[in-house]
Amino acid sequence: MSLDIIAPNRLKRTLRDGKTAVGTMLVEIRQPSVMQMLANAGLDFVIIDNEHGTFNIETIADLSRFAKKLGITPIVRIPEWSYAHIVQPLDGGAQGIMAPRITDPQQVRDILQMMKYPPTGRRGSVVGRGHTDLKSGPLLDVMKTADEESLLVVQIETRQALDNLDAIVSIPGVDIAFAGPTDLSVSLGIGGKMTDPLLVAAIESVMQACQRHNVFPAVQMNDLELAALWAKKGMRMVSYLSEVGILTNAGVNAVSVIGKAVVT
């Protein structure tokens, strides 16, 4: 049953329609209007980085609700696998959870238990919060629809995760396996070498596991050409840079172009 008080998850629909979703990390800007700018740019999703970012729960809720209203799927990367860090963003309006540093399948099962309502999980039931646009409705229908629309992104960024790849991505409830190339390159002993054959093979193994288990593959790339290359290879969810990186790159380009014009 579909409920108007639970917003559709645009990212889920984009992926299920066979399209490639493009987004970015949000790491610094706290003003909700940043979501309007990202929407104007045509992005499909935004990852609110609460692992390395400096956001509190009130800011996460404000950013998530505004993004959701604009049709951008807000995903929160949590700092740890605790009940509060998972449920509070979801109750506040986030439509997905990104779990970093996953190394074994039991961690994923524990996270899903916290994410999903009974009988699937043990998330506490509530209405009249950010995830229901502060509205109320039939409790069991709200819970069922919320479970259907929420998504779990697991990060594959260690040797241990690669060793347990099939066991991790085969767990029911895992929607997306997200290759984190920076930490993965460090774990493989080739830190920062984004085109090293060892890293390329590792990321490709994530894609292959996703194909085996009907999960969508994703990647973060800070180089635009590499982001496009991985999209061409079949990555279905591509996160490019962050709002800080995009803004900085645009500024550097503007200074360069204008500076050259003046010199000329």
Question: What digits encode the pLDDT tens for the residues 78-123?
Answer: 999 999 999 999 999 999 999 999 999 999 999 999 999 999 999 9
Residue-level pLDDT at 191: 96
In this prediction, the residues of the chain whose per-residue pLDDT falls under 70 are 1-3, 264
Residue-level pLDDT at 264: 65
pTM: 0.96
Distances (CA, A) of 84 to 51, 57, 80, 111, 153: 14, 10, 9, 11, 17
Residue 39 and residue 9 in contact, taking contact as beta carbons nearer than 8 Å: no
Residue-level pLDDT at 4: 81
Alpha-carbon gap, residue 112 to 87, rounded angstroms: 11
Q: Is 10-243 assigned to CATH 3.20.20.60? A: yes
Residue-level pLDDT at 20: 98
Q: Where are the beta strands (DSSP E) in the chain?
A: 21-26, 45-49, 73-77, 96-99, 151-156, 176-179, 216-221, 237-242
* Count of positions (residues) in the chain: 264
Residue-level pLDDT at 255: 96
Alpha-carbon gap, residue 96 to 183, rounded angstroms: 21
The Cβ-side half-sphere exposure at 157, using a 13 Å CA radius, reads 19
